[in-house]
Amino acid sequence: MSNFVVSARKYRPTRFVDVVGQEHVSQTLKNALQSDHLAHAFLFCGPRGVGKTTCARILAKVINCQNLSADHEPCNTCSSCEAFNQNASFNITELDAASNNSVEHIRALIEQVRFQPQQGKFKVFIIDEVHMLSAQAFNAFLKTLEEPPPYAIFILATTEKHKIIPTILSRCQIFDFKRIQIPQMVAHLENICKEEGIEAEREALHVISQKADGALRDALSIFDRVVSFSGKSVKYVDVIENLNVLDYDYYFRATDSLLSEDYSGLMLLFDEILTKGFEEDVFINGLAAHFRNLLVCKDPATWALLEAGDRLKKKYQDQAAMTPESLLLSALDLANFCDINFRMARNKRLHVEMCLMKMAFLPSAVRVSLGAAPITEKKTADESDSAPATVKKTPVAEVETLNTPEPQAVAAPIAETPTLKEPVPAPPVARPKSKQFSTPKIDLRSIESEIKQSAADDALLPTELRKEDVEMAWAAFADQVESDSLKAVMQQTELAVEDGKMIVIVGRKFSESQIRQADEMMDFLREKLNMPGLIREFRIDESLAPAVEVVKPKKLLTNKEKLQLMKEENPLIAEFGKRFDLQEDKDE
């Protein structure tokens, strides 16, 4: 078996200058060492894989180094640094709080604090994942953390700072670590490729960095996996195949189909993506991100927001120049609405396909919603083939003509009345074989607000919530419930409608908890009432609680009380006692 070491360990930084993306932490610690203002307790918090434990180990190594450099970096040659590199230093203790989180483990750590360092100036205690300590362990650690010996330094690391009690936070200097930026990851991966003799395309390293989501350790793990797949030549195609990432080219092709109103090509492209095994929501979210990137490329001032390689940036800029901003905004709004309602859709593929068809016919939908007159082809004897097409202005927007191969004419302008009682059908327009627009192009920029308002009104049609409909839907759900106890609780509740909300009135808190446990109830009611945004609230009315008969315990009677009761029920018993001179027992 080979002695292979993963890149995350092999290229783990050993100096502050090697730490990627955390210059604010490194420089602060260096300044504290230079001015001799080093605190006794630190808390490093931030996402996973960004260098918290690495910086803690470097700091522990620096403060015991015997030959510090001028910029306060470890020398890696003294006995202390060599012992640290070989994991044989007695001055550094690391504790994983995820598996050592009890009071006994903290007490054992406190016992080690009592002993002074045998070599060097400080003993450093690194506690990783400190938020996993129990409450009792935190309390046992408080006094030592507040007043440690002068030779003890504590470095705590965590990914969830909000789980640490405030008394611990107030005793530490807190350093917040940031996510590693994609350009910084790409540069680090390029340096590793040079060290390992690997040829890697920059676009491939960009995909790896984006997949890592800000964690450099994850990026190095993905890099090792890709190298094992593709060998010494890392290509973009191999990366997207190995990581199951949807290629950018699909989004560029989808936008081209949108611009040419080629809905059939868009549907076939979507089918090809599904055939490759990608989910519908992955494509629609990626398409929305693609529209966002195109909007970013519209202004040179925002080009820095585009996280992509140089070749891909150029491709984005070229397509952005051909796409109107208003069209991108409308398509982005449709994609966002599709993503919001994706989970509730029964036929998810059809749900996404409807969104794509709306995008493809967005210019035509704008003309219909504005009531523009249909374009018809007319040719008279007086017109020659070389005569330019003429277009009349409508009351809403100004229509501009394109250089079409044949002259076209526009029907009469829209009348001032809002609707026509007898619309005149227009002859169909022959669609050209080319991918270019065959109809006049509307200036979408000037009617952007009308487009968004019309789309919002059509998508979010308000629905009035009535008590009768709620009661019918409630009864329908109660009929199909299998649990007899839940069905009984639902039959004992009362329903009301206030401010468009459904109010469920129950008799006690236990009934509310039973109804909340029925997870499928709200989905059923929203679908039955055709209200995706239905809100349910609970109220408690004790008068609705079922009456419970209170059985009072029977009182135990003494012997004297029993005798008195017998005398009351049968007077002959008292007469019998007098005749035979019987006396009652006073001691009972």
Q: What confidence score (pLDDT) does residue 156 get? A: 92
- Per the listing, tokens 């260098």 go with 51
Token pair, residue 269, equals 């492209």
> Quick count: other Cβ atoms within 10 Å of Cβ 419?
7
* pLDDT classification of 453: cutoffs 50, 70, 90: low
Residue 231 has pLDDT above 60, yes or no: yes
The answer to whether 256 touches 266, Cβ cutoff 8 Å, is no
The mean per-residue pLDDT over the stretch 155-173 comes to 90
Please tell me the number of Cα atoms within 13 Å of 456 on its side-chain side.
7
Determine which of 89-103, 181-195, 221-235, 404-418 has the lowest per-residue pLDDT on average: 404-418
Q: What confidence score (pLDDT) does residue 552 get? A: 56
List the domains of the chain with CATH numbers.
7-176 (3.40.50.300), 182-242 (1.10.8.60), 248-365 (1.20.272.10), 467-544 (3.30.300.180), 554-588 (no CATH)
Determine which of 200-209, 259-268, 506-515, 573-582 has the lowest per-residue pLDDT on average: 573-582
Calculate what percentage of the chain has a pLDDT beyond 90: 3
> Quick count: other Cβ atoms within 10 Å of Cβ 12?
18
Q: What confidence score (pLDDT) does residue 371 get? A: 58
pLDDT: which is higher, 452 or 215: 215
Give the H/E segment covering residue 399.
strand 399-400
Residue 300 has pLDDT above 80, yes or no: yes
The mean per-residue pLDDT over the stretch 344-365 comes to 85
Residue 229 has pLDDT above 80, yes or no: yes
pLDDT: which is higher, 249 or 450: 249
Residue 374 has pLDDT above 50, yes or no: no
Query: How far are the Cα atoms of 6, 479, 493 from residue 446, in angstroms, in the given order?
Result: 57, 54, 54
Contacts 24+ apart (CB under 8 A), 104-110: 105/137, 106/133, 106/137, 106/140, 106/141, 107/140, 109/141, 110/140, 110/141, 110/144
pLDDT: which is higher, 408 or 272: 272
* pLDDT classification of 44: cutoffs 50, 70, 90: very high
As a whole number of angstroms, the distance between CA 289 and CA 332 comes to 9
Q: What confidence score (pLDDT) does residue 87 get? A: 80
The mean per-residue pLDDT over the stretch 53-73 comes to 86
Q: What confidence score (pLDDT) does residue 43 get? A: 92
* pLDDT classification of 584: cutoffs 50, 70, 90: low
**Range among 368-372, 444-448, 500-504 with highest mean pLDDT value:** 500-504
Determine which of 28-37, 95-104, 368-377 has the lowest per-residue pLDDT on average: 368-377
The mean per-residue pLDDT over the stretch 171-178 comes to 90
Token pair, residue 457, equals 């009104």
Calculate what percentage of the chain has a pLDDT beyond 70: 80
The answer to whether 439 touches 260, Cβ cutoff 8 Å, is no
* pLDDT classification of 33: cutoffs 50, 70, 90: confident
* pLDDT classification of 575: cutoffs 50, 70, 90: confident
Counts of helices then strands in the chain (DSSP H, E): 25, 14
Q: What does the radius of gyration of the chain's CA atoms come to, in whole angstroms?
A: 39
- Residues 336-347 have pLDDT tens digits of 989 888 888 889
Q: What confidence score (pLDDT) does residue 45 get? A: 92
Q: What confidence score (pLDDT) does residue 344 get? A: 86
Token pair, residue 210, equals 């984006």
Residue 131 is given by DSSP the state G
- Per the listing, tokens 């109103």 go with 261
Q: Share the mean pLDDT of the chain.
A: 78
Q: What confidence score (pLDDT) does residue 529 get? A: 85
Polymer length of the chain:
588
- Residues 308-321 have pLDDT tens digits of 777 788 888 888 88
Q: What confidence score (pLDDT) does residue 389 get? A: 39
Its pTM stands at: 0.56
